[in-house]
């Protein structure tokens, strides 16, 4: 799984404007919607917020991977944002997040969804890479960092 195959440059935002979990999730979904990646924005938003209500997707170490499955997309899509100021996210380590990677997939496509979650998690294990992402102040830098890292 190569993330830049599902993450378009137009679906990256740095810095995010939102200051809380629901606001940044909505902001990333709106990026996907503006890029034409969604069939039904409201269904996608509901799926992600419903998933988030079950259990926070703040995985610790300043990272959140909100995700959902629904009929609001025809294929796996991704958006990514870097918070200018850390956001309280109910993370498993009780620390705020700066890196938010949003994934949405059709309900019947579990494989690619799981692969993308795993790929994001593995990339974030590289502390140097993660630190560079956290310091990124524009979408181009974020996308270039991911693209370069994936082609190492």
> Which of 37, 47, 62, 67 is labelled catalytic?
67
CA proximity to 127, closest of 99, 94, 89:
99
Pairing of strands 67-69, 77-87: unpaired
Q: Round to the nearest angstrom and report the end-to-end CA distance of the chain.
A: 14
Cis status of the peptide bond prior to 15, with omega within 30 of 0:
yes
Catalytic residue flag (residue 67): yes
What residues are labeled active site? 67
């Amino acid at each position: 799984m190569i993330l830049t195959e599902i993450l378009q440059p137009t679906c990256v935002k740095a810095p995010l404007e939102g200051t809380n979990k629901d606001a940044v999730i909505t902001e990333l979904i709106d990026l996907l919607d503006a890029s034409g990646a969604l069939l039904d924005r409201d269904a996608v938003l509901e799926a992600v917020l419903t998933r988030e209500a079950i259990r926070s997707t703040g995985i610790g170490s300043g990272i959140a991977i909100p995700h959902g499955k629904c009929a609001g997309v025809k294929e796996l899509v991704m958006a990514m944002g870097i918070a200018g100021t850390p956001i309280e996210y109910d993370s498993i380590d009780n620390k705020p997040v700066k890196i938010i990677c949003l994934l949405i997939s059709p309900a019947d496509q579990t494989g690619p969804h799981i692969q993308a979650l795993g790929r994001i998690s593995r990339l974030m294990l590289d502390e140097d890479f993660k630190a560079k992402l956290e310091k990124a102040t524009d979408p181009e830098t974020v996308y270039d960092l991911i693209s370069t890292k994936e082609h190492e």
